[in-house]
């Protein structure tokens, strides 16, 4: 894999100095430097996260920095600025159309990653998540907030941000950064851009009357551009104008080219696949997911010695109001939404409880599911425990203490929970879709069911209960799950290949 390339020194790259030779001659000098990658994201687990994107944004740049000069660009949310420490403002990015001016700050993570932060209090200094307010409603100016992110990424790539650094390639993530590749295209800049789709269901759709506010040319509002069923789609813009598209599992990359999973973009994504511009690269999980060293666990354990699981299981039972039991413990660690198949888990609970099993649930989401789960716990005291919300320590101890993780997602681009569970010796019971199909071997390190129906889900649960009653089989499956490769090395290597292909295409 190419890790660096030859660059002719010129003024656009002020970090490369011209030699002053005798007679005043200053020929171009060929120097070797690492390729510069700007990783553009709307969340990062170091400071703020709403889902899996935050975890990936924290882990993937770290896996890549051994090969590239990789830096992160993120909006300056209140939560980011309160945690990152010293941020030096290094540039002012001008207002454009309806997008306000902002400062460009530069800081570092605790382990030395450079982070560029957009300093614009009017857009980002708010309570709530990156996308919604404290009541769960989308911010009314999300189009401006994330157009500002995309425009800043394009400016940095063009050398108009950090005067000591510019990006050779942009790695964009989901709809909030999708306009970056479009802004570059409209400027006639051929800088390679990679867009990773973490969940196609979230597309950043806005009314067409926002075009002029966002600096989008009228000519771009067409099927070969940003238009999506009469509206503007940030995600479609990113897909159409980016050099290459990746998504977070091989199976999901195939699924999204079909109408049932394509969310209206399957035709465009089929074209990308036919052009060789679409790849699926499974996510990894970071090294903190190690049951032998995790500080959140009440007792450590390993694939060779799982005795510590029982102490974690008893802690979960106590924490969730469950009776002490030697029966199987099932966990649900999830957003409580239809996509995650929470209704299937609720309906299957009676089967689990009738077989002597217990269920611990943590998560939040749709009010109707929260209410149904609380009612389920009331009907089955000592057998079902529910906590609405999320706590990292509780979640990790649930993975560590449970025997099975219920994950009946109707679709799942990648999924991290099943990998966390496997690493901690909990066998996932999951729908065979997306990243779940790519990371779970049925009957080896978990259980899969092919149709997202209650009967098929219950069949898989019954197979899990049979394995639980056979201690040698349960032990073998736990070990297989815990020893499955879970890290980022292989994924980072695949991204290197994609980066090089995109760079070569830009040079052609």
Residues flagged as binding site? 49
Q: What are phi and psi of 251, to 5 degrees?
A: -65, -45
CB 203 within 8 A of CB 234: yes
Distance CA 123, CA 85 (A): 20
Name the strands in the sheet holding 329-333, side by side, starting at the edge strand that comes first in the sequence: 384-388, 358-363, 329-333, 404-407, 427-431, 447-449
Instruction: List binding-site positions for ADP-alpha-D-glucose.
Output: 49
Identify any residues that bridge with 102 across adjacent strands, giving them in sequence order: 93
Identify the burial level of 451 via C-beta atoms within 10 angstroms of its C-beta, where 0-12 means exposed, 13-18 middle and 19 or more buried. exposed
Identify any residues that bridge with 302 across adjacent strands, giving them in sequence order: none
Helix (H/G/I), strand (E/B), else coil: 46 = coil
Distance CA 354, CA 461 (A): 12
Q: What are phi and psi of 384, to 5 degrees?
A: -130, 125
Contacts of 3 (CB under 8 A, 6+ apart): 34, 35, 67, 68, 496
Helix (H/G/I), strand (E/B), else coil: 14 = coil
Q: What CA–CA distances, in Å, run from 87 to 108, 114, 272? A: 8, 11, 39
């Amino acid at each position: 894999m190419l890790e660096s390339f030859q660059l002719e020194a010129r003024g656009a790259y002020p970090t490369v100095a011209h030699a002053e030779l005798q007679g005043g001659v200053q020929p171009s000098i060929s120097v070797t430097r690492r390729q510069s990658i700007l990783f553009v994201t709307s969340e990062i687990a170091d400071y703020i996260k709403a889902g899996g994107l935050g975890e990936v944004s924290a882990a993937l740049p770290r896996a890549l920095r051994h090969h590239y000069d990789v830096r992160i660009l993120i909006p300056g949310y209140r939560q980011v600025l309160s945690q990152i420490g010293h941020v030096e403002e290094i540039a002012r990015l001008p207002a454009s159309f309806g997008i306000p001016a902002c400062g460009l700050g530069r800081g570092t993570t605790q382990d030395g990653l450079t982070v560029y932060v957009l300093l614009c209090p009017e857009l980002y200094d708010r309570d709530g998540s990156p996308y919604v307010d404290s009541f769960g409603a989308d911010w009314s100016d999300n189009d401006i907030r994330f157009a500002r992110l995309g425009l800043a990424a394009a400016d940095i790539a063009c050398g108009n941000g950090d005067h000591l650094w510019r990006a050779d390639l942009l790695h964009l993530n989901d709809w909030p950064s999708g306009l970056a590749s479009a802004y570059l295209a409209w400027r006639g800049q051929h800088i390679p851009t990679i867009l990773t789709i973490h969940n196609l269901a979230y597309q950043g759709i806005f009314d067409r009357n926002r075009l002029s506010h966002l600096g989008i040319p009228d000519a771009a509002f067409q099927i070969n551009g940003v238009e999506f069923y009469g509206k503007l789609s940030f995600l479609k813009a990113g897909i159409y104008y980016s050099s290459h598209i990746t998504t977070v599992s091989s199976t999901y990359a195939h699924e999204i080219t079909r109408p049932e999973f394509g969310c209206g973009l399957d035709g465009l994504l089929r074209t990308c696949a036919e052009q060789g511009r679409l790849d699926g690269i499974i996510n990894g999980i970071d090294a903190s997911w190690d049951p032998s060293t995790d500080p959140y666990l009440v007792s450590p354990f390993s694939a060779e010695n799982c005795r510590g699981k029982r102490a974690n299981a008893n802690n979960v039972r106590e924490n969730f109001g469950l009776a002490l039991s030697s029966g199987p413990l099932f966990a649900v660690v999830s957003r409580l939404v239809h996509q995650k198949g929470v209704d299937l888990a609720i309906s299957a609970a009676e089967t689990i409880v009738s077989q002597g099993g217990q269920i611990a649930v943590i998560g939040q989401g749709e009010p109707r599911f929260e209410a149904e789960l609380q009612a389920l716990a009331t009907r089955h005291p000592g057998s079902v425990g529910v906590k609405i919300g999320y706590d990292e320590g509780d979640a990790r101890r649930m993975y560590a203490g449970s025997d099975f993780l219920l994950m009946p997602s109707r679709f799942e681009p990648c999924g991290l929970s099943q990998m966390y569970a496997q690493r901690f010796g909990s066998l996932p019971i999951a729908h065979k879709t997306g990243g779940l199909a790519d990371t779970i071997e049925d009957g080896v390190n978990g259980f899969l069911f092919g149709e997202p129906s209650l009967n098929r889900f219950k069949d898989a649960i019954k197979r899990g209960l049979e394995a639980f009653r056979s201690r040698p089989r349960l032990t073998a499956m736990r070990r297989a799950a815990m020893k499955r490769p879970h890290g980022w090395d292989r994924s980072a290597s695949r991204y290197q290949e994609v980066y090089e292909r995109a760079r070569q295409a830009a040079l052609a």
